[in-house]
Amino acid sequence: MSLLLWLGSQLSSCWSNFSTLGVFLTVFTLLLDFMKRRKKWSRYPPGPVSLPFIGTMLHIDFHNPHHSFEQLHKKFGNIFSLQNCWTNMVVLNGYKTVKEALVHRSEDFADRPYLPIYEHLGYGNKSEGIVIARYGHVWKELRKFTLSTLRNFGMGKKPLEERVVEEAGFLCAAVNAEEGRPFDLRFLVNNAVCNVICTIVYGERFSYGDETFKKLLRLFENILNEETGFLPQILNVVPILLRIPGVPQKAFQGQKELMDFIDVLIKKHMETWNPDDIRDFTDAFLKEMEKGKEAEKKGFNYNNLRLVTADLFTAGSETTSVTLRWGLLYMLLYPEIQSKVQAEIDKVIGRERSPTMEDQVNMPYTNAVIHETQRLGDIVPTGIPHTTYRDTELQGFFIPKGTTIITNLSSVLKDETVWEKPNEFYPEHFLDANGQFVKPEAFLPFSAGRRVCLGEQLARMELFIFFSTLLQKFTFVLPKDQPRPWADGHFAFINSPHPFLVQAIPR
């Protein structure tokens, strides 16, 4: 009996010790979490209450973050703070705030956050790319090279314009082949836009029926879906989860497949490469790589070649093709606006001659419709995240170095202090009292400052030529018995129209 009492007392003592240890560990963990989440800076932007471990993540719908930001903007003002677990974030809203940060304090906000989810693709300290790369010497060298090389291959010049005009012809032929039947124009438009960047990067285009190219276009969509939602947010703030075997490959299968596709294209290209005959962007990059150690210090290596071309592909195709799809959707929803655009096309260009960039200045209404499409379509509503490069101040708030910055471009493009009808399709936003085209300063679909989209000039050319050529040749109508398409978008980093069918009636 005494033995049982002794064992009972020992078990009770052990249980008491375990309970004490458990309480200690719980308090220690909560204290550690509090220390990581507490803000030791005065004048830091306000924000919702931060909960243990998860921070403010419950306040954000990661499938529609711009909608969440809109509500928080109303409550906390133009500058508010969030916290993804222990990652400090600040969201900037409204034209004046975003302009002050990106233009007047451009270097302060020029960095990008470290995103572990891209490490498995090769993004890191020595491999940068140009879109999500950290701000520094390598990024500056690669961006400067990319801009100058794109210009050398015609960006903003007549040869590339002629190539876009030619591709617009191929697109119209493919649309005409549908013979007025209802069809989803998504892949045709994507194919046309992507072919332009393909010509610059690889010196060739793909036919609209090419199965390999269709696979590439589907990969673009898969990648955007992979990078949206709660999972990538958690993996970025708790990167140890990415070290679990198979997790990156399973969670980001589309990214891996895209890089494999690009590897095949580059290696095929290298087999016919001649340093004395530079055909395209890939050849120009390979020539820089041949310069040895100095080139290596500037970031010219094979991995950066694949990352930069991947950046050009994704940034230079998906946003433009989505904008065109929004434009055609708005023409379905507002046939009276479509008729006015076609009347201007007939007056300035006629039915036979192909539109060119020289026509744009004489077509203020068409130009206004395209810009209004970009504004209301709100293609990249939350922009690409920035990071503060140094401690800085903005409108009286202190923002420390290394803070992730979200530039809420949706709040700029729909700023009620700038736009007369911010939530309506209203081309008159871009027309003065005399019907001439004007562009308000708050029109920032390509962002601004040091990280402004380097393909802006190309995108503007493609949008005008593709859009005006399509409306010159066809009238777009809703198929009979099809419900009116939704005017809101589907967010997967890019804000895309929901799938819809269209009939193209030859004019």
Average pLDDT over residues 169-178: 95
Average pLDDT over residues 105-112: 94
Q: How many CA atoms lie within 13 A of 375 on its CB side?
A: 30
Contacts of residue 86, defined as CB under 8 A and 6 or more positions apart, other chains included, come to: 33, 36, 37, 55, 237
pTM: 0.88
pLDDT exceeds cutoff 90 at 297: no
Contacts of residue 77, defined as CB under 8 A and 6 or more positions apart, other chains included, come to: 46, 93
CA distance 436 to 137: 43
Closest listed residue to residue 444, CA positions, set 157, 93, 12, 148 = 93
Closest listed residue to residue 446, CA positions, set 412, 396, 401 = 412
Name the residue with higher pLDDT: 244 or 399: 399
* Residues above pLDDT 70, as percent of the chain: 89
Identify the bridge partners of residue 79 per DSSP, sorted by sequence position: 92
pLDDT category at 127 given cuts 50, 70, 90 is very low
Residue 246: CB atoms within 10 Å: 7
Long-range contacts of 481-490 (CB under 8 A, 24+ apart): 482/182, 484/333, 485/329, 485/332, 485/333, 487/329, 487/333, 489/326, 489/377, 489/378
H runs (alpha helix) in 203-252: 211-226, 230-237, 247-251
Give the pLDDT score at 369. Answer: 98
CA distance 328 to 507: 16
pLDDT in tens, 416-449: 999 999 999 999 999 999 999 999 999 999 999 9
Give the pLDDT score at 402. Answer: 93
Give the pLDDT score at 121. Answer: 65
| Domains by residue range for the chain, with CATH | 128-373+416-487 (1.10.630.10)
pLDDT category at 126 given cuts 50, 70, 90 is very low
Contacts of residue 300, defined as CB under 8 A and 6 or more positions apart, other chains included, come to: 141, 142, 145, 285, 288, 289, 291
pLDDT category at 315 given cuts 50, 70, 90 is confident
Closest listed residue to residue 477, CA positions, set 145, 173, 182 = 182
Lowest mean per-residue pLDDT among 84-93, 151-160, 288-297: 151-160
The three-point CA angle 187-193-199 to 5° equals: 125
Average pLDDT over residues 54-74: 91
* Residues above pLDDT 90, as percent of the chain: 50
Tokens representing residue 122 in the block? 């090769």
pLDDT exceeds cutoff 80 at 60: yes
Residue 281, judged by CB atoms within 10 A of its CB (0-12, 13-18, 19+), counts as buried
pLDDT in tens, 11-41: 566 555 556 655 555 554 555 545 555 566 7
User: Average model confidence (pLDDT) for the chain?
Assistant: 86
Average pLDDT over residues 183-209: 88
CA distance 439 to 460: 13
Give the pLDDT score at 454. Answer: 83
Total residue length of the chain: 507
Give the pLDDT score at 123. Answer: 61
pLDDT category at 241 given cuts 50, 70, 90 is confident
Top-confidence range, 49-53, 166-170, 209-213: 166-170
pLDDT in tens, 478-499: 998 888 888 788 888 899 999 9
Residue at 116: amino acid letter: P
Average pLDDT over residues 283-306: 89
pLDDT exceeds cutoff 60 at 258: yes
Contacts of residue 507, defined as CB under 8 A and 6 or more positions apart, other chains included, come to: 342, 351, 472, 473, 474, 475
Give the pLDDT score at 354. Answer: 95
